[in-house]
Amino acid sequence: MTTPAPVRFAATDLDAIAAATGRLAVFVTPDGKLDAEGRRVNRLMRGALQRIVEGGALEKKEAGEVISLAWPAGLAAEALDMVILPRNAGIEDSRRAGAALGRAKGDKALTILGGTLRRPAEVALGAVLRAYDYTAHKTAEKTEPGAITVTVREPEASEAAFAPARAVAEGVFLTRDLTNAPANHLTTTAFAEEIKGLAALGLKITVLEESDMEQLGMGALLAVGQGSASPSKLAVMEWQGGETGAAPLALVGKGVVFDTGGISIKPAQGMEEMTMDMGGAGVVTGVMRTLAARKARANVVGLVGLVENMPSGTATRPGDVVTSMKGDTIEIINTDAEGRLVLADVLWYAQKTWRPRGVIDLATLTGACIIALGHENAAALANDDTLCGAVLAAAKAEGEGLWRLPLGKGYAEMLKSRIADVKNVGGRPAGTITAAEFLHRFIEEGTPWVHLDIAGVASVQADTTYAPKGATGWGVRTLDRLVRDICEGD
């Protein structure tokens, strides 16, 4: 796994500033006030920071933005980053400021002179998240990420505040690595092996093989993988950090390691992007890692359906009818609407096995979701306002875009099949909603459920605030926050 830059907190030491190597960051308020460390830097640089302030450079900048100076005279550091941030900055601005530093940092060492920061741990988290770089397949000599040192008045308190943030960063990095990984490397088997490795953190791991799923009658999931040389799998990660016997929250992920579309094959243009079609499973795996690493006081079970959607002589054909574990028969009109087939059986299995207090599924499910919401927001569709409200609130608190779309009987009727109980596509209108209505069939009456379509946000073609282009890890922070909010009560 890509390791996050090490973060340590040290006591403020004005006399150590001149000799600090790597990059050095100081804070200035929007109205141009420097703290004691900033004033020391200013003095060492013979008034350079004061000139920036007096020259009016701050006026065009927003909170969280950075002005960088290369090879600053008077300092051993190779660059000086001046960050604009109010003294009472909230979580979001603090993280954004950190992210701006993390972006500039690259793999260099970074010393953040954080003397008067209200939320140094949040600044550090922003920096760590943005400093991610996926280099698993670059042959050039790999460098370890340079450490981030934050100087503060009370290092122990900041260290304690950062401990859960470190677990979050590790979860996000795992999700991004999985989502960025090419499909010839991250096969269904390799994914399951990665998950088995999480047992070291105290998670209970179970992997169902094709023969197990045949016995359970998972004809929908198995139909998707039957054209691939890679065996389909269902991996389960259980975290028991709450009361014994208390019903868990279930997180379910679509893990299509590559989606060619199957016999309903996709156009060649852009097909390589379908290596991210396991993004939902990537988020579930990342969150489970975070929960275990920070020893969350909650019971959560993560389930991922791992399959590859390939065209071949053994592949499912359009027109085939399969039987799901629930017993419903499904007419497969389009083999490219495969994610919902995988989720149908995993959702049913999750409910029958754990009787969860709530189910949240994540899936790169529909291109229609990108047409509706672009890359700014994922879509939420739910049968329960309370659980959906909690998910929306958690996403808002974490700055991860999420917008609710409706469900409705009329949409469900678009899935009527002439020859089976249901068909797997409902036509072009409202594609994200009809996909969700398909899943809705496999949710039992009374089980609170939220479906998150992350097709537009799991991996993006441009840098975002907290990630370089490619996999974002969208959802790990939201779900970690949700578990805190609804299971841990803090």
Residues that bind Mn ion (CB under 5 A): 259, 336, 338
Q: Residue 208 is encoded by which pair of tokens?
A: 């169902």
Give the residue closest to ligand BES by C-beta: 367
Helix (H) or strand (E) holding 415: none
Helix (H) or strand (E) holding 466: none
- Residue in the structure block whose two tokens are 């919902």: 340
Residues at the site binding Zn ion, with contacts judged by CB under 5 A = 256, 259, 277, 339
Least gap, CB of 365 to ligand BES (angstroms): 6
Residue 315 DSSP symbol:
S
Give the residue closest to Zn ion by C-beta: 259
Strands (E), 194-297: 204-208, 233-240, 249-259
Least gap, CB of 64 to ligand BES (angstroms): 30
Least gap, CB of 367 to ligand BES (angstroms): 3
Tell me, rounded to whole angstroms, the distance of Cα 349 from its chain centroid: 24
Least gap, CB of 332 to ligand BES (angstroms): 11
- Residue in the structure block whose two tokens are 């002179």: 113
Alpha helices in 153-258 (DSSP H): 155-180, 188-196, 210-216, 219-225
**Closest by CA position to 361, among listed 472, 468, 448, 292:** 448
Cα(24)–Cα(18) distance, rounded to whole angstroms? 10
Q: Looking at beta carbons only, is 117 or 433 nearer to ligand BES?
A: 433
Residues at the site binding ligand BES, with contacts judged by CB under 6 A = 259, 277, 334, 336-339, 364-368, 425, 431, 455
CB under 8 Å to 210, separation ≥6 — which residues? Answer: 222, 225, 231, 232, 233
Q: Looking at beta carbons only, is 225 or 448 nearer to Zn ion?
A: 225
Least gap, CB of 108 to ligand BES (angstroms): 34
Work out what residue 366 binds among Mn ion, ligand BES, Zn ion, none; the CB cut-off runs from 5 to 8 Å by kind: ligand BES
Give the number of other CB atoms < 10 A from CB of residue 437. 24
Cα(177)–Cα(134) distance, rounded to whole angstroms? 7
Q: Looking at beta carbons only, is 170 or 308 nearer to Zn ion?
A: 308
Work out what residue 334 binds among Mn ion, ligand BES, Zn ion, none; the CB cut-off runs from 5 to 8 Å by kind: ligand BES
**Closest by CA position to 255, among listed 297, 215, 225:** 225
Q: Looking at beta carbons only, is 122 or 338 nearer to Mn ion?
A: 338
Least gap, CB of 363 to Zn ion (angstroms): 8
CA torsion sign for 379, 448, 471, 190 is negative
Give the number of other CB atoms < 10 A from CB of residue 270. 8
416 a catalytic residue: no
- Residue in the structure block whose two tokens are 């409902």: 426
Give the number of other CB atoms < 10 A from CB of residue 53. 20
Cα(429)–Cα(396) distance, rounded to whole angstroms? 28
Please state at what angle helix 279-293 crosses helix 188-196, rounded to 10 degrees.
10
357 a catalytic residue: no
**345 and 324 in contact (C-beta within 8 Å)?**
yes
Among left, alpha and beta (phi > 0; psi -120 to 50; other), residue 131 is alpha
Least gap, CB of 384 to ligand BES (angstroms): 25
Tell me, rounded to whole angstroms, the distance of Cα 332 from its chain centroid: 30
Least gap, CB of 339 to Zn ion (angstroms): 4
Q: Looking at beta carbons only, is 94 or 179 nearer to ligand BES?
A: 179
**130 and 167 in contact (C-beta within 8 Å)?**
no
**Bridge partners, 382 (sequence order):** 450
- CA distances to 257, 279, 301, 453 from 237, rounded to whole Å, are 18, 16, 6, 21
Cα(232)–Cα(213) distance, rounded to whole angstroms? 9
Choosing from 266, 297, 357, 404, the catalytic residue is 266
Q: Looking at beta carbons only, is 170 or 338 nearer to Mn ion?
A: 338
Choosing from 340, 423, 481, 484, the catalytic residue is 340
Q: Looking at beta carbons only, is 175 or 264 nearer to Zn ion?
A: 264
Q: Looking at beta carbons only, is 104 or 276 nearer to Zn ion?
A: 276
Q: Looking at beta carbons only, is 259 or 453 nearer to Mn ion?
A: 259
Least gap, CB of 101 to Mn ion (angstroms): 39
Q: Active-site residues: which are they?
A: 266, 340
